[in-house]
Amino acid sequence: MKTIGFYQGCCFQGPDAHMFDTLKKVFADLGVDIKLLERTTCCGGNTIEESNRFLVYSINARNIALAEKEGLDLLVSCNTCYMVLAKTKHALDSDPELREEINKLLAEEGLEYKGTAKIWHILPYLVEEVGIDTIRERVRRPLKGWKIATYYGCHIKYPKEVAVVDSENPQGLEELIEALGAEPVKDYEGSDVCCGYHSFYTNKDIALKKVVKAPQGAKRAGAEMLVTPCPLCFKAQDIYQDMAPTEDKVPSIYLPELLAYALGYDAKQSGLAFHIIPVDKISVNASH
């Protein structure tokens, strides 16, 4: 069993606490022990930068240092948390003065940013560390006949210095979907269009225009649903898409939920039963 430190950010709160439980059991089934780093805090959501960038570097150097103190690498699910943490790592690793200044602040809490922890996003971790074959072997409920559009989200593609997939030709999700027995739909119109999540509270109108583009493009390309490794893209496509003035809503699935369902968990255990836009493919039990 491998062990990795998990950075949760603000993704698994409100109505979404179950999403972490799903992720944890899926990774356990795949031979990875997720150790929640409980002292880590919000990354600032790519918003605290507006107020002060040094503050963002400080709180995320602390987040990384908490993993390093335990001798663990850091696993992140949210694309934005991943980008903000990776930008911090990039800044501190390339600027010794900045690192020293921040380490003086962290010393108060007995922490030090060393730069030794690798920051993993779940998508490459699943593909490279867990392995497609392992995932294929554990499938108990092959998703035969499911046509699933792949949606990577922006912050693992851009900017270049932190990208974990090829920005212009991202890979990984398709292989995963095939391993689960489903059929991936790639390069549909809108597959690279932003989900709009981060503009919902700065300009709602634009968020509601953005959020429908990928789902509608996916549908036109013959997909029945989308899958994304990012919990924020997922929330946008589940909640904001529902608010948008389009008639056909296309369900979106958070990658660990899809894995859970294929690994044999039921609609509630996987979290698929809790979606605002129902996933018609599953047979939800009577309590729904």
Contact set with other proteins (CB under 8 A): 9-10, 13-15, 17-18, 38-42, 44-55, 58-59, 62, 66, 83, 105-106, 108-109, 154-155, 157-160, 167-168, 192-194, 196, 198-199, 201-207, 209-210, 239, 268, 273-276, 287-288
| Identity of the amino acid at 177 | I
Shortest approach of other proteins to residue 227 CB, angstroms? 19
- Looking at the Cβ atoms of 123 and 191, the one nearer to other proteins is 191
- Looking at the Cβ atoms of 135 and 267, the one nearer to other proteins is 267
- Looking at the Cβ atoms of 50 and 93, the one nearer to other proteins is 50
- Looking at the Cβ atoms of 155 and 249, the one nearer to other proteins is 155
Shortest approach of other proteins to residue 35 CB, angstroms? 14
- Looking at the Cβ atoms of 24 and 138, the one nearer to other proteins is 24
- Looking at the Cβ atoms of 146 and 152, the one nearer to other proteins is 152
Shortest approach of other proteins to residue 116 CB, angstroms? 20
Shortest approach of other proteins to residue 212 CB, angstroms? 10
Shortest approach of other proteins to residue 196 CB, angstroms? 6
Shortest approach of other proteins to residue 217 CB, angstroms? 13
